[in-house]
Amino acid sequence: MLSVLLLATGLGAAISPGPTAWAQGCAAVDVVIARGTTEPGYLGAAVGDPLYAVLRERLAVDTSAHRVDYPADLLVPSSVSDGTRAMTGHLVARAAACPDQRFILVGYSQGAVVTHGVLGSPAALLLPGMWTLPPELSHRVLAVLLFGDPLRLVGATVHPWYADRTQNYCAAGDPVCAGGIFPAAHGTYEWAFADAAGQVNARL
- The catalytic residue positions are 109, 174, 186
- Sign of the C-alpha dihedral, residues 64, 67, 69, 70? positive
Between CA 74 and CA 125 the distance in angstroms is: 18
Using the 8-state DSSP alphabet, how is residue 1 labeled? -
Residue 97: what residue type? A
3-state secondary structure 100-129: CCEEEEEEECHHHHHHHHHHCCCCHHHCCC
Cα 28 to Cα 31, 132, 136, 155, 196, distances in angstroms? 10, 23, 19, 33, 18
CB 148 within 8 A of CB 189: yes
Residue 142 CA from chain centroid, whole number? 13
